[in-house]
Amino acid sequence: MTQDLLPQVRLRHWGRWISGVLIVLVLLALSWGAAHGDISYRDIPYYLWSPIILKGLVGTIVLAVVAQGVAIVIGILIALMRISHNPVARVFAGAYTWLFRGLPVLLQILLWYNLALIYPRLTLGVPFTDLKVLDVETNAVMTTFVAAFLGLALNESAYMAEIVRAGLKSVDKGQIEAAQSIGETPAQRLRRIVLPQAMRVIIPPTGNDFINMLKGTAMASVIGYVELIRAANNISSFNLQVMETLIAAAIWYMVIVTVASVGQYYLERGFDRQDRRTGPASLRRRIALNLGRPPMVRSPQ
Amino acid sequence: MNDSGLVLDARKITKAYGDHVVLNEVSLQVSTGEVVCIIGPSGAGKSTFLRTLNHLEKPDSGEVWVDGEPMGFRLRDGKLYELSERKVSAQRAKTAMVFQHFNLFPHLTVLDNVMEGPVRVQRRPAATVRAEALEVLARVGLSEKARAYPGQLSGGQRQRVAIARAVAMKPLFLLFDEPTSALDPELVGEVLTVMSDLAAQGMTMLVVTHEIQFAREVADRVVFMADAGIVEQGPVEQVLVAPQEARTRQFLKRVLE
């Protein structure tokens, strides 16, 4: 015997239509305003590819990559000290994090840049002898790049230490015991078992931090290091096209941040391979899935 | 192998957490090829004792001699000098352990889990180890899962991989820490079968277990622990069938009912 089911009328989401239209109207109004400002948009493509801006772009990327890379290495070391059995190392790591996380990055950059005011020469010698391994003028070493690098990298290393520590703590104690039981040394356990698993916890916040780092390099402009903003200012100080050059810089920021985000996505997926069965689909597949899914699903008639 | 035939000699192992004494001068000797099952109520110190044998847990006092060598120490001029964790690791590589919660490495495939110790620790050539690992996986009935990740396996399969990982180390003896306690009842059998096979093949095994039936069938010797010490030990017929101590009778009565 077949049972006849009654037709069902699904809920209509009128509110979504109204709010959607409102948002589009506001965006149109804003675009109209932007289009009628006193700005020469046609010059922006020229600035995008001008050698000065491109030099600034390279400056931004190099500074961010080097600072983040060194910060990750220092961060791992500080995190290991933080969880070590040596109380001196633990206290040192805590104090390090407290100091370099506590001071504004801009202040740290300025302090490094002006180091020559208190130490005119940097000397590294063997104690109780006259032997000098290193003896240079501080200002010769402390270029704008080095000062900005130190300020950004040391600050970031304090954050990385906390991220790495959280990652290490997230690995089950049984993993370490299993590694012990097959005779792995402490170094092997860390390298082969703990770190690869901690990476899944470490990478997402590290990706966020790197994106912040890309933007944080803007602070190096204060001491004259040529990155995107400094490059934009260098141009506009001649021709007064302040907004045009800054927007060119803004576009480049968006491009590199987008590239970094996509890179982060694939990096996370790489470290999630043991969850392949349940893990996220590839970016392309996910976009395709979402495009294919209508915003309001009605039951078929 | 040393002359005595003893592969493991634990002497007066004592361990306390604060005021709570977990092990009170526990001694146990195991010969090559023996299968020893350790039973007893929870809190008796069974697992802790097992974990002192490969120094996952350092005893407060007492000695663990593995194949004539003091675990965690170096003998020189009649004194025992404590070894660094790195050196202790090398000693542990002669033993192997199977855990209650499997503790497989989730980021490695089944095959890589089994190969990790022989290749990374024992530094044996990867090609030889691979062949051996596949053979060991076949013995636990998981050849077709070599490329799977632990997350894709059932509990029973995971524990069989963990056993394969331990066996691949070619250890002097195998330590089992309640290997079936975390399994769903219907998965216990497949793990116990693999363990029985190992025992039949002459593997030296120490098994902390709640499976009295398994002990009855497989053990050469049963050790009953309670209150931080060994109450009674001997062959199955003695400890499980005709226990001498009231404490043992009491426990068996409660468990078997």
pLDDT in tens, B12-41: 999 999 999 999 999 999 999 999 999 999
CA trace torsion A219, A222, A228, A230 (10° rounding): 170
pLDDT computed for residue A130 by the predictor: 79
Residue-level length of chain A = 301
Q: What angle do CA B222, B224, B225 make, to 5 degrees?
A: 140
Using only the alpha carbons of chain A, give its radius of gyration.
27
Q: What percent of chain B lies above the pLDDT cut of 70?
A: 98
pLDDT computed for residue A60 by the predictor: 97
Alpha-carbon separation of residue A260 from A28, A188, A238, A253, A272 (angstroms): 30, 31, 32, 11, 18
Taking CA–CA distances from B170, the nearest residue in chain A reads A182
CA pair distance B171, B175, nearest whole angstrom: 10
Tell me the average pLDDT across A106-125: 91
User: Does B218 contact chain A (CB < 8 Å)?
Assistant: no
What ipTM was assigned to the predicted interfaces of this complex? 0.93
Concatenated DSSP letters of B109-148: -HHHHHHHIIIIIS---HHHHHHHHHHHHHHTT-GGGTTS
Tell me the average pLDDT across B146-159: 95
Summarize pLDDT for A185-231 with one digit per residue, the tens.
999 999 999 999 999 899 999 999 999 999 999 999 999 999 999 99
3-class SS of residue A259:
helix
pLDDT computed for residue A294 by the predictor: 47
pLDDT computed for residue B144 by the predictor: 95
**Average pLDDT over all residues of chain B:** 94
pLDDT higher than threshold 70 for residue B84:
yes
Residue closest to A40 by CA, chosen among A240, A231, A244? A244
Summarize pLDDT for B169-227 with one digit per residue, the tens.
999 999 999 999 999 999 999 999 999 999 999 999 999 999 999 999 999 999 999 99
Would you call A185 and B117 a contact, using CB atoms and an 8 Å cutoff?
no
Using 50, 70 and 90 to split pLDDT, how confident is the model at A147? Answer: very high
Helix (H) or strand (E) holding B69: strand B69-70
pLDDT higher than threshold 90 for residue B1:
no
pLDDT higher than threshold 60 for residue B152:
yes
Across the interface, of B91, B117, B149, the residue whose CB is closest to A182 is B117
pLDDT higher than threshold 70 for residue A295:
no
A108 or A37: whose pLDDT is higher? A108
pLDDT computed for residue A289 by the predictor: 62
Taking CA–CA distances from B90, the nearest residue in chain A reads A183
Q: What residues of B are in contact with residue A183 (Cβ under 8 Å)?
A: 89-94, 117, 121-122, 169
pLDDT computed for residue A288 by the predictor: 62
CA pair distance A60, A208, nearest whole angstrom: 17
Dihedral sign computed on CA atoms, order B149, B155, B161, B165: positive
User: Does B74 contact chain A (CB < 8 Å)?
Assistant: no
pLDDT computed for residue B5 by the predictor: 80
CA pair distance B146, B137, nearest whole angstrom: 7
User: Does B105 contact chain A (CB < 8 Å)?
Assistant: yes
Tell me the average pLDDT across B87-111: 96
pTM for the complete prediction?
Answer: 0.81
Q: What residues of A are in contact with residue B120 (Cβ under 8 Å)?
A: 184, 188, 192
Would you call B103 and A174 a contact, using CB atoms and an 8 Å cutoff?
yes
pLDDT computed for residue A62 by the predictor: 97
Rounded to the nearest angstrom, the minimum Cα separation between B164 and chain A is 12
Summarize pLDDT for B66-76 with one digit per residue, the tens.
999 999 999 99
Would you call A183 and B89 a contact, using CB atoms and an 8 Å cutoff?
yes
Query: How many other C-beta atoms are found inside a 10 Å radius of the C-beta of residue B8?
Result: 24
Q: What percent of chain A lies above the pLDDT cut of 70?
A: 90
Would you call B89 and A196 a contact, using CB atoms and an 8 Å cutoff?
no
pLDDT computed for residue A290 by the predictor: 60
pLDDT higher than threshold 80 for residue B100:
yes
Would you call A175 and B103 a contact, using CB atoms and an 8 Å cutoff?
yes
pLDDT computed for residue A133 by the predictor: 80
Q: Please count the residue pairs, one from chain A and one from chain B, whose beta carbons lie less than 8 angstroms apart.
A: 86
